[in-house]
Structure 1
Amino acid sequence: MVSERAADVTPFLAMDVLERANDTDDAIHLEVGEPDFDPPDRVVETAVESLRAGNTNYTAARGKPALRRAIAAHYDRTYGVDVDPDRVVVTPGSATGLLLSMAALVDPGDEVVLTDPHYACYPNFVRTVGGRMETVPLRPADGFRPRTSAFADAMSADTTALLLNSPANPTGAVMDGGTLADLVALAAEHDATPVVDEVYHGLSYDVEAHSALEYTDEAVVLDGFSKRFAMTGWRLGWMVVPPTLVDAVNRLAQNLFICAPNFVQDAGVAALETPPERLDAIRETYRERRDLLVDAVADWGLDLGYTPQGAYYLLADVSDLPGDAFDVADLFLKEAGVAVTPGVDFGEEAADYLRLSYATDADAIREAIDRLDALLATVDR
């Protein structure tokens, strides 16, 4: 018999669309956040060398000391923040860090405040540990950036954590430092812990993405190697946790997943040593792809209302097209072979939207634009 916990977990629609698109001839994938770049050569070489050296055994649950030191050095180098490597816990992907953070902080009935739209899997992490959610609506007129006052209105005596994401999936919004500092302070006033998903750091355009660790040692910060280093299948991430949570998170990690793969951790050290010029070039490529899609959405007469400043997604309002967002996504896939994700996957506030990913190459994006140009010219509005 299926548990209530499992029954409450909703499907991840982007992956459902991916499965359907894989069964569609010549489909163009704008539905998933899968970078089309290869990992840096030195990362691959390091993993192979580590395997050949026999590094296939368990490591400590919190990760190899060399990787934890490299992560701490990354915060010093990038943000000017001093992080004790003992506060770093290496995880098999940043999603595992989300689960660990919820398990460490949230008891049944506790409240977690998060934005709407939000990353599709956030509610399932909260539900899995028995928590309940209060959401803060985001608006395209604000660039989908949160207002501190809206968070203050949403919080209560039962609020245990604020779940934040910047640069954000699915909107591409980037919080400025002042807002992030205010939200951290607001959490402290309510004796709540900020849990800040920073996995898209390094992928922002014309704005600076700030880390919560610039403003507090009491946040749980999540990051990983999947996005900016194109290491999605390597499953390697990390958490930086407050000193008071180190022991609890380590015990949970020991029991729930043992450790991240040994040789992949060595590759993570190599990734963090990647010359910044490589990431600069990748970021510029994403910016060019973003601009292609932003211009196309305007040409289609769909309301965007903002320009994404980070990650590699945008939300397009399709409420003027026939049917709901599911119908439009189905039309795009069946009639044009273009796979996109219905916005309802990311919350009620995104129900009239489609999420489009520009993590694929520019030629594929141009082909998708041409196909949708032709299709939308035939659609009555």
Structure 2
Amino acid sequence: MVSQRAADVTPFIAMDVLERANELDDVIHLEVGEPDFAPPDRVIETAVDSLRAGHTTYTAARGKPELRRAIAAHYDREYGVDIDPDRVVVTPGTSPGLFLAMAALVDPGDEVVLTDPHYACYPNFVRVVDGEVRTVTLRASEGFRPRVDDFAAAVGPDTSALLCNSPANPTGAVMDGETLAGLAEVAADADATPVVDEVYHGLSYDAAEHTMLEYTDDAFVLNGFSKRFAMTGWRLGWVIVPPDYVDAVNRLAQNVLICAPNFVQDAGVAALETPPDRLDEIRETYRERRDLLVDAVEGWGLDLGYTPQGAYYLLADVSDLPGDALDVADLFLEAGVAVTPGVDFGDAASDYLRFSYATDADAIETAIERIDALLATVER
């Protein structure tokens, strides 16, 4: 019999849409966050050299020392934050890092406060460790940026963690330093721990990026190589662990993860040494795609109400179109454009569709043309 824990895990609708879209001919994929850039050449060359050198054995569960030192140096270089490499735990992707954080923090019945909208998988990570989800509603009129006061009102005696991400999926919102500092204070007052997913760092356009580690050491901070370095299939991430949790998280990693792939960790060191001008060029390309799609959504008469500041997503309100967001997503798919229904991201996003602009501008323009033609036939 399937466990209740497994039965409570909901499907990831974006992946369901991708599977359906792949069964059709000539579909533009705006439903998944899959960068269309290749990893830096040096990353690929380093991985090949590492394989040829025989680096295919197990490593320490927390990761190779060279990579952990490179990650610590990254925080010093980017944010002026001094991180002990012993607090760095390397993981096979960022999602396992989130699992380690939840497993280390949450006992059965403990509450985790997260935003709504939120990344689709967050509630499932809470449920799989038998935690309870509480949400803080975000508003499009405020750019989907969280209010510290709302988090303060949501925490209680059973709260063990505050979970958020910046730049955010699915909204593209970026939290400023004042907000991060306020959330750190709220967590400290509630004897809870911030868990901040920063995997889209490096992909902000109109806002300065700050890490939660600038404001507290008592936080789990997640990041990885999938988004910034276009290394989704390489499965390499990390989590910065509060000092008091290092031993516990290392034990969990030893048992649950064993280790991230040896040669991929060598490639991670090379990625962190990528010249900034290449990343600047990629970020500017994403900005141009964002502007193209924002203009199109407004031209369709859909309510956007904000401009995403980071990542490569936007949420568009489709409540003026016939049917619910699932119906509209199906209609768009029939027209050859795959998008993700907002219900995947929480109740507050149920009237929205998420568009990803991680694909090339030509494909986005083709998608715009198809939706233009479709909406010309739809009565509102």
TM-score under structure 2 length normalisation? 1.00
Shift of 1:204: 0.2
Q: Which residue does the alignment assign to 1:112?
A: 112
Partner of 1:189: 189
Partner of 1:23 in structure 2?
A: 23
Give the SS at the match of 1:222. Answer: strand
Cα deviation 1:340-363 (Å, max 9, x = unaligned): 000000000000000000000000
Tell me how far apart the structure 2 counterparts of residues 206 and 338 of structure 1 sit (CA, whole Å): 28
1:59-98 alignment, distance < 5 Å: 59-98=59-98
1:260-299 equivalence runs, <5 A = 260-299=260-299
Give the paired residue count. 380
Q: Distance in 2 between matches of 1:276 and 1:95?
A: 26
Secondary structure of the residue aligned to 1:145 is: coil
Aligned-pair distance for 1:164? Answer: 1.2
Aligned counterpart, 2:100: 100
For residues 313-341 of structure 1, the C-alpha deviation after alignment (integer angstroms, 9 at most, x for no partner) is: 0000000000000000000001x100000
**Alignment partner, residue 47 of structure 1:** 47
Amino acid at match of 2:239: M
Distance 1:365 1:201 in 2: 23
Match of 1:358 in 2: 357
The code of the aligned residue for 1:114 comes to L
- 1:209 to partner: Cα distance: 1.3
**Cα distance between partner residues in 1 of 2:367 and 2:164:** 32
Q: CA deviation at 1:379?
A: 0.2
**Residue 206 of structure 1: how far off its partner (Å):** 2.0
Matches of 1:256 and 1:328, distance apart in 2: 40
How far does the alpha carbon of each residue in 1:198-219 deviate from its partner, in whole angstroms, 9 at most, with x for none?
0000000021111000001101
Q: 5 Å matches for 1:105-144?
A: 105-144=105-144
Structure 1 residues without counterparts, runs of 5 or longer: none
In 2: Cα distance, 1:124 partner to 1:164 partner: 14
Matching residue of 1:153: 153
- CA–CA distance in 2 between the matches of 1:155 and 1:240? 23
The one-letter amino acid of 1:220's match is F
Q: Distance in 1 between matches of 2:35 and 2:273?
A: 20
The amino acid of 1:248's aligned partner reads: A
Show the 5 A alignment for 1:226-375: 226-334=226-334, 336-375=335-374
Moved over 3 A (4+): none
Aligned to 1:212: 212
Distance 2:99 2:18 in 1: 24
Letter in 1 for 2:323: G
Q: CA deviation at 1:257?
A: 1.2
Q: Distance in 2 between matches of 1:324 and 1:34?
A: 26
What is the CA–CA distance in structure 2 between the aligned matches of 1:68 and 1:339, rounded to whole Å?
A: 38
**1:38-89 residue CA offsets vs partner (Å, 9 max, x unmatched):** 0000000000000000000000000000000000000000000000000000
C-alpha separation in 2, matches of 1:97 and 1:46: 24
1:179 to 2:172 alignment? no
Q: What TM-score results when the alignment is normalised by the length of structure 1?
A: 0.99
- Where 1:250 maps in the other structure, the secondary structure is helix
RMSD over aligned CA atoms reads: 0.4
Letter in 2 for 1:47: A
User: 1:366 corresponds to which letter in structure 2?
Assistant: E
Q: How far off its partner does 1:150 sit?
A: 0.5
